[in-house]
Structure 1
Amino acid sequence: MDSTHFYRDTWVEIDLDCIFENVKNMKRFLPEQVDIMAVVKANAYGHGDVEVAKTALEAGATGLAVAFIDEAISLRHGGINAPILVLGASRPTDVAIAAEHNISLTIYSQEWLDEVLKNNHGNTPLTLHLKLDTGMGRLGIKEKGELQTILKTIEENPQIQLEGVFTHFATADEINTSYFDQQYQNFLQMLEWMPNKPKMIHCGNSATGYRFPEKVFNVVRLGIGMYGMTPSLEIKDQLPYQLQQAISIHSKLVHVKRITKGEKISYGATFTADEDMWVGTVPVGYADGWLRKLQNTHVLIDGELCQIIGRICMDQFMVRLPKKLPVDTKVTLIGKQKDKFISVDDVANALDTINYEVTCSISFRVPRIFLRNKRIIEVRNPLLRHY
């Protein structure tokens, strides 16, 4: 037994052809000198880090970005040798392990750099990107004096290579561009504080790349767009090409029963049948990322929208069926059946959240099936990884 098997009737499908096309289309759209850094943090936004990373690199990405060192090491263990940048804060005591795996880290303060030098007893070569805080207020240097001190420290320590400098926009996906413009001007000003600029300068996420390709310098960090989801509904009409949603989520009916008018369903008895009806049980719950707030929304069964009735349980929910359907009938939570389609955005709207959160919330216990040319090329089930 290994992680290519699973023994439940719920799974995620990732169409890697969509990932490939989304990266390829962005590469075609951007100016020729601009590279793509594929953002595969959070298990590639819930899609599968190694598989997505390999596909993005095949499609033309030249580097990868993650949130912390563990995610970078996971990619290395998956056989990926491409450049990887950790965007978040790393512990200064962990620089040796980053250097050992050829992982670039982010400098975000002089204090952090001092601690790195103090802990780097063997003077291990280390590649770094400098984070500038232009208005996101998260990580990064804001003051000219601190920046100049950092640059001087780097000059005095040849084991440190400054490979890049970057910032992040807070409102690139909003129609009103005033704050974006302010951050961009801040970035230009701060770059002037650097007499010798590193080879990589990047400020653009997906939204910036789509809307302001002339302002991304020489790298775009392609995240949400790579997965075929719009950065925000506000700019959906401003996208330069059609995005292809890569993820779909499916299950099956495991039990079908007839209930009579007046019977109640699930915890709290919040649903009461208004007539005799057929009810199906689906083995998905909030432990899988299908949250209780999705009660009364719909899934696709036999090509029809079917309402979730009663509270969603940890591992199961119930649906109102249009008629008696056989056990093992396919249920689509996100994706297409016949002429109907449920998008990630549809689910996000129901949850009053963003599409990022929906896919990132799909639990590790839901197996991922990876497709190329409509054929299964890999199955990953983390629950069975130790067997």
Structure 2
Amino acid sequence: MSVEKRRAWIELDEDSLLHNVRELQRVVGRDCRLMPAVKANAYGHGDVETARLLAGAGISDFCVASADEGIRLRAAGISGQILILGYTLPAQFDALREYDLTQTVVEDSYAQELSAYGRELRVHVGVDTGMHRLGIPASDADAVASVWRFPNLKITGMFSHLCVSDGTTEEERRYTEKQISDFRKVIGELRRRGIRGFESHIQGSYGILNYPEEKFDCARPGIALYGVLSLPSDRVRADVTLSPVLSLKARVGCVRMLKEGESAGYGLTYTADGERKLAIVCAGYADGIPRSLSNRGYALVRGYRAPIVGRICMDQLTLDVTEVPGVRAGDEAVFIGKSGGREIGAAEMAECAGTISNELLSRLGQRPERICFTHI
């Protein structure tokens, strides 16, 4: 279906994605492999579409959140290492082996469960350096080392998560530096015990951008890969230029006038303070536009900023286009992306909705079709 026939859609800029890969690879250095996070449908960008583009650019390692996400990539022909960052039920251990997925050892007792499966499984060992979520405590080197004694586990890596690497305070920086230091100590202790042959990684997007001097075997870019920061106010230390990959657009379905004193939408939460021109747009919260933007968000129409008025519905919303000349049915309404000389970033939209871009993007609905395009 051509763009002209779509009610709401997502555009993915291939050139921007590949640009971001090059920029992040430059930051981490030639000796570090990028292991992009394509979980949550690649942060709403489309996991299969994104993974295929990345594979074409030479990326061979990927991170997902669940076995089902990994299976979906394998079914689409994605090869290379696929690391599951979270817990997998024993009932799916057969799938780990069948689809050659790499499972995280989320705690020491889980290593025993994986080993008891009785057939070889590929794993990375999770180490808790201070997030206190998943992983064996970094302070217990014996417990970490014990994983290597379990039969049936092919251990190819070890990793941890940074929890305040996006922070800018001295306290947050000290905490992050201690996490990195503790992780390095575990690596050193394992090597002292003769345990080698595993790759290490701890940096996600902000670990890459704020601690570029730290070098490990791999790095796991997430939100930064898609050219976005979590919030517009975020600042990073790395000298890097990222380009947004995703645009979210929808069609104006009709235009109508509202008289002074008339109200519109569910709950009649918007009342015109004068004669207003409204555009009914064919997108709603089922298309990934948060309901919390009711009466507070905006879109771009013909390069003009148009406020969202009234409650956002499942399939439609209303824009005040009184100040937009010539608007008519079929026009584009841009919620993320560019129109004319203006732009709405995902982080800006997310902040207005009271969240971060990571959540906003990963909750984009399946209904808008993803369209990949290139400028070349």
Q: Is TM (by shorter chain) over 0.5?
A: yes
Residue equivalent to 1:165: 158
Q: Is the 8 A contact 2:114 2:153 kept in 1?
A: no
Which residue, 177, 183, 200 being the options, matches 1:181?
177
- For the structure 1 residues 24 and 172, does the alpha-carbon distance in structure 2 shift closer, same or farther, using more than 3 Å as the test? same
Give 1:30 shift: 2.1
Q: Is the 8 A contact 1:63 1:83 kept in 2?
A: yes
The equivalences for 1:117-156 within 5 A come to: 117-120=115-118, 123=119, 125-142=120-137, 143-153=140-150
> Where in structure 1 do 4 or more consecutive aligned residues deviate above 4 Å?
3-8, 231-235
Separation in 2, partners of 1:164, 1:4: 44
- For the structure 1 residues 350 and 231, does the alpha-carbon distance in structure 2 shift closer, same or farther, using more than 3 Å as the test? closer
Which residue, 337, 348, 369 being the options, matches 2:371?
369
Separation in 2, partners of 1:174, 1:14: 29
- For the structure 1 residues 175 and 73, does the alpha-carbon distance in structure 2 shift closer, same or farther, using more than 3 Å as the test? same
- For the structure 1 residues 6 and 260, does the alpha-carbon distance in structure 2 shift closer, same or farther, using more than 3 Å as the test? closer
Separation in 1, partners of 2:242, 2:59: 17
The answer to whether residue 27 in structure 2 is matched with residue 34 in structure 1 is no
Separation in 2, partners of 1:18, 1:113: 40
Residue equivalent to 1:354: 356
Separation in 2, partners of 1:345, 1:95: 38
Q: Is the 8 A contact 2:230 2:347 kept in 1?
A: no
Residue equivalent to 2:206: 207
Separation in 1, partners of 2:127, 2:83: 15
Q: Deviations over 1:66-87 (max 9, x none)?
A: 0011001100111111211111
The answer to whether residue 295 in structure 2 is matched with residue 302 in structure 1 is no
Give 1:4 shift: 9.2
Q: Aligned letter for 1:181?
A: E
- Computed over aligned residues only, the root mean square deviation of the Cα atoms, in angstroms, reads 1.9
Separation in 2, partners of 1:282, 1:306: 11
Residue equivalent to 1:284: 283
Q: Is the 8 A contact 2:33 2:219 kept in 1?
A: yes
The equivalences for 1:227-266 within 5 A come to: 227-233=226-232, 235-266=234-265
Q: Is the 8 A contact 2:298 2:305 kept in 1?
A: yes
Separation in 1, partners of 2:314, 2:215: 44
Q: Is the 8 A contact 2:249 2:333 kept in 1?
A: yes
Residue equivalent to 1:377: none
- For the structure 1 residues 92 and 113, does the alpha-carbon distance in structure 2 shift closer, same or farther, using more than 3 Å as the test? farther
Aligned residues: 365
- For the structure 1 residues 229 and 276, does the alpha-carbon distance in structure 2 shift closer, same or farther, using more than 3 Å as the test? same
Give 1:145 shift: 3.2
- For the structure 1 residues 29 and 144, does the alpha-carbon distance in structure 2 shift closer, same or farther, using more than 3 Å as the test? closer
Which residue, 52, 55, 60 being the options, matches 1:54?
52
Gaps of 5+ in 1: 375-387
Give 1:5 shift: 9.8
Which residue, 88, 99, 102 being the options, matches 1:101?
99
Residue equivalent to 1:378: none
